[in-house]
């Protein structure tokens, strides 16, 4: 898959462009914003969106846009951290399970099936109770939700290619198992994993904001999208814009990552695309 392919697929391109704009906004935004995300301004409490405050102000007179951009950075980092760990562990375990087969494969897949039996958010909630609240633990909860998904995808893809001629060639050449797994198999099965990663990061943000929203995740004053929504929920009737704008931001971020994932999926499996259109 090359960059030029990405440019030709409209879905992937749209997703990539919005993602890049979003990333730029959350990196540069808080720096160039004239407002301080932690600066209280009691003279301008709960103002509706204006030219000065595009997203309005919150209960402490803080600029919601600045806070949302900073919160999005925190949420995205937590989600990426969790999904990254899940990918690292899940892909490694999945590669070995799919390649080696036998009891190791059976055991791993049974554990995966068991984790799949719990509703995603319930699993995350349960882990927050066990681990305690906080930024890192939210990331770990997200990891546990996505670990089984990465393990299963990798294992199934590995099983499909493990008897291919190029793998046999590598085996005959006497390459070590880990080299075969990570140098031969992984590059050939990376497409579905990358698609899953982009979709998982999107839903990791939802899990983070959900946990923080009910107060079991990131704790204030650290801004995260969930924390800001939890605050907005307190004065939702008087100032609905805090909640609305924060949620819209999440929706746009998710939309971008989902489009990117869809586009990548089409690129990875052209057969699927020709069938769909």
Partner 1 sequence: MAPVLPGTMLFSWEFPYMPSPLKYFFSRLVGAIVTILVGSLLVFLVMKAAPGDPALAVLGDFATPESIADFNRERGFDQPVLVQYMHWLNDLVHLDFGTSLSIASGRDIGELLAFRLPNTLTVGVYAILIAIVIALILGTSAAVRRGRPTDTIATAVSVLGVSMPDFWLGYMLILGLSIGAGLFPSYGFVPLSESVTGALHSGFLPALAIAAPMAAVFSRTLRAALVDNMDRDHVTVAKSFGHSRRFIFLHHVFRNSIIPFIVVVGLQVRYLLGGVVIIELIFGIQGVGSLMVDAAFARDYPVVQACAVTFLAIVLAVNFLVDVICAMLDPRRGGRS
Give residue for tokens 């055991």.
Answer: 107
User: How many residues belong to the site for partner 1 (CB under 8 A)?
Assistant: 52
Task: Based on the shown chain and the rule CB under 8 A, indicate whether residue 132 belongs to the binding site for partner 1.
Answer: yes
Q: Residues 63, 105, 231, 266: which binds partner 1 (CB under 8 A)?
A: 105
Q: Residues 7, 52, 119, 176: which binds partner 1 (CB under 8 A)?
A: 119
Please tell me whether the peptide bond between 221 and the residue prior to it is cis, using omega within 30 degrees of 0: yes
* Options 64-72, 80-88, 89-97, 233-241: segment touching partner 1 (CB under 8 A): 233-241
| Shortest distance in whole angstroms from residue 28 CB to partner 1 | 23
Is residue 89 a contact partner of residue 97, using CB atoms and an 8 Å limit?
no
Closest CA to 204 of 78, 67, 118: 78
Q: Residues 125, 135, 142, 147: which binds partner 1 (CB under 8 A)?
A: 125
Angstrom CA distances, 40 to 68, 124, 174, 276, stand at 15, 33, 66, 52
| Shortest distance in whole angstroms from residue 226 CB to partner 1 | 9
Provide the token pair at 33. 């914003």
* Options 21-29, 75-83, 84-92, 246-254: segment touching partner 1 (CB under 8 A): 246-254
Nearer CB in complex with partner 1: 36/106: 106
Closest CA to 258 of 207, 191, 202, 204: 202
User: Residues 6 or more apart from 82 whose CB is under 8 A from it?
Assistant: 138, 139, 140, 141, 142, 143, 145, 146, 204
Provide the token pair at 166. 């190029």
Q: Quote the CA–CA distance of 67 and 195 in Å, as a whole number.
A: 30
Task: Based on the shown chain and the rule CB under 8 A, indicate whether residue 273 belongs to the binding site for partner 1.
Answer: no
Segment holding 91, helix H or strand E: helix 64-100
Task: Based on the shown chain and the rule CB under 8 A, indicate whether residue 13 belongs to the binding site for partner 1.
Answer: no
Task: Based on the shown chain and the rule CB under 8 A, indicate whether residue 271 belongs to the binding site for partner 1.
Answer: no
Task: Based on the shown chain and the rule CB under 8 A, indicate whether residue 39 belongs to the binding site for partner 1.
Answer: no
∠ CA 271-200-250, rounded to 5°: 115
Task: Based on the shown chain and the rule CB under 8 A, indicate whether residue 128 belongs to the binding site for partner 1.
Answer: yes
3-state secondary structure of 220: coil
* Options 62-70, 71-79, 86-94, 116-124: segment touching partner 1 (CB under 8 A): 116-124
Task: Based on the shown chain and the rule CB under 8 A, indicate whether residue 121 belongs to the binding site for partner 1.
Answer: yes
List residues near partner 1 by CB under 8 A: 101, 105-106, 109-110, 113-114, 116-122, 124-126, 128-132, 152, 156, 202, 206, 209-210, 213-216, 229, 233, 236-237, 240, 243-244, 246-247, 250-252, 254-255, 258-259, 262, 275-277
């Amino acid at each position: 898959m090359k960059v030029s392919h990405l440019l030709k697929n409209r879905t992937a391109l749209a997703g990539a462009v919005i993602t890049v704009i979003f990333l730029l906004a959350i990196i540069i935004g808080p720096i160039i914003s004239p407002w301080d995300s932690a600066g209280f301004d009691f003279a301008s409490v709960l103002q509706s969106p204006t030219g000065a405050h595009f997203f309005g102000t919150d209960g402490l007179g803080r600029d919601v846009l600045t806070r949302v951009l900073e919160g999005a950075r925190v949420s995205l980092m937590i989600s990426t951290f969790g999904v990254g760990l899940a990918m690292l562990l899940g892909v490694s375990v999945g590669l070995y399970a799919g390649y080696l087969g036998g009891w190791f494969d059976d055991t791993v897949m049974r554990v995966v099936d068991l984790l799949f039996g719990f509703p995603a958010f319930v699993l995350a909630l349960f882990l927050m109770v066990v681990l305690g609240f906080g930024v890192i633990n939210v990331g770990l909860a997200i990891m546990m939700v996505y670990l089984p998904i990465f393990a299963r995808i990798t294992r199934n893809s590995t099983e499909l290619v493990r008897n291919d001629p190029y793998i046999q060639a590598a085996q005959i050449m006497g390459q070590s198992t880990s080299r075969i797994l990570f140098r031969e198999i992984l590059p050939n099965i990376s497409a579905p994993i990358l698609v899953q990663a982009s979709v998982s990061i999107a839903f990791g943000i939802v899990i983070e904001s959900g946990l923080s929203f009910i107060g079991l995740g990131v704790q204030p004053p650290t801004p995260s999208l969930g924390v800001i929504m939890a605050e907005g929920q307190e004065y939702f009737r008087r100032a609905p814009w805090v909640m609305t704008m924060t949620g819209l931001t999440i929706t746009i971020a998710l939309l971008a990552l989902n489009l990117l994932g869809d586009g990548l999926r089409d690129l990875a499996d052209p057969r699927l695309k020709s069938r769909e259109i």
